[in-house]
């Protein structure tokens, strides 16, 4: 796609409307209106960087397996909602902006509270997800505005599935000396070395990561990850047994991905009426 014309347009993706972003240099991203779910990122002159399950489920009420699901207002089951990872990833968003500017393709998706969301979570809010793509970089920003008259707190994440050739040969660098909750072992530890590898199921919340740069590396390829606003990092891979139990992911595909998620979990965000919060994840390959 190098040198192709820049364009932002609505397209069909797996039978559902999506926003296709293409920068002047050929970098591309595709965002479903369903859940404001980023399902593809192809850097200029490069290959697909996100894992998307070939057996993912689409449509009303479905959470798409792969890409970058938006988690709000609750991470996993850590909160009052019975729904894992909240409800915005299964709702229809609208396109608020689509533009090519200064060499970047930019898309902004928007979701506002309504009677259906208030029945699940009794607060008024407005969300915007901004996706910016150019060259070999991708930026994803989630902003939350409290549009109600009472303060609320929430947890959130950009549940980024990164594609790889073999998870068993991956190295994630940059988390040395960071404390983490290990959901597999039910224990709290500190990362003793700089290199994290995948040897099976992995489910960790690294706390207060701050402005560190993480590097996901395998032979011949690397991705640098930075974040602002989000204080935690989740690292997740279901491993062999749990992947086999997932109905929307092939049994062996746990070796084709690793989630490295920008998140605010361990200290929920408190938002006063009229206030706004924003968190961003930046990826460069």
Give the per-residue pLDDT at 1.
Answer: 36
In a domain, 271, yes or no: yes
Domain housing 73: 7-284
In a domain, 2, yes or no: no
In a domain, 131, yes or no: yes
Give the per-residue pLDDT at 3.
Answer: 39
CB count in 10 Å sphere of residue 165: 13
In a domain, 27, yes or no: yes
Give the per-residue pLDDT at 6.
Answer: 66
Give the per-residue pLDDT at 52.
Answer: 98
DSSP string, 218-280: ETTEEEEEEEES--EEEEEE-HHHHHHH-TTS-GGGGGGEEEEEEEEEEEEEEE-TT-EEEEE
Residue 233: how many CA atoms within 13 Å on its side-chain side? 28
In a domain, 77, yes or no: yes
pTM for the full predicted model: 0.95
Mean pLDDT of residues grouped by 10 in the chain (285 residues)? Answer: 62 95 97 98 97 95 96 93 91 96 96 96 98 98 98 98 97 97 97 95 95 94 97 98 97 98 97 98 97
In a domain, 1, yes or no: no
Give the per-residue pLDDT at 60.
Answer: 87
| Residues that are catalytic | 159, 261
In a domain, 158, yes or no: yes
Give the per-residue pLDDT at 82.
Answer: 83
- The domain total for the chain is 1
Q: Which CATH number does the domain housing residue 49 bear?
A: 2.70.98.10
Whether the CB-CB separation of 170 and 217 falls below 8 Å is answered with yes
Pair of tokens at residue 220: 């011949």
In a domain, 13, yes or no: yes
């Amino acid at each position: 796609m190098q040198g192709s014309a820049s364009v932002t347009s609505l397209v069909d993706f797996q039978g559902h409307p999506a926003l296709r972003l293409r920068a002047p240099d050929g970098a591309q991203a595709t965002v479903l209106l369903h859940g404001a779910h980023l399902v593809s990122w192809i850097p200029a002159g490069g290959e697909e960087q996100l894992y998307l399950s070939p057996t993912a489920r689409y449509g009303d009420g479905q959470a798409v397996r792969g890409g970058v699901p938006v988690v709000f207002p609750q991470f996993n089951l850590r909160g009052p909602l019975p729904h894992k990872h909240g409800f915005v990833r299964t709702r229809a968003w609208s396109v608020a902006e689509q533009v090519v500017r200064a060499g970047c393709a930019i898309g902004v998706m928007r979701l506002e509270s309504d009677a259906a969301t208030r029945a699940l979570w009794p607060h008024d809010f407005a969300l915007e997800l901004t996706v910016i793509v150019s060259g070999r970089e991708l930026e994803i920003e989630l902003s939350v505005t409290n549009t109600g008259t009472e303060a609320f707190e929430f947890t959130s994440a950009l549940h980024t599935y990164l594609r790889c050739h073999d998870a068993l040969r991956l190295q994630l660098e940059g988390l040395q000396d960071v404390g983490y909750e290990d959901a597999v072992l039910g224990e709290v530890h500190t990362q003793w070395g700089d290199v994290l590898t995948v040897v099976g199921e992995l489910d960790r919340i690294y706390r207060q990561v701050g402005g560190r740069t993480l590097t996901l590396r395998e032979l011949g390829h690397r991705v640098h990850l930075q974040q602002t606003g989000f204080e935690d990092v989740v690292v997740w891979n279901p491993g062999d047994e749990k992947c086999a139990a997932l109905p929307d992911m092939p049994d062996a595909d746990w070796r084709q991905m690793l989630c490295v998620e920008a998140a605010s979990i361990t200290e929920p965000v408190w938002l006063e009426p009229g206030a706004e919060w924003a968190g961003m994840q930046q990826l460069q390959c």
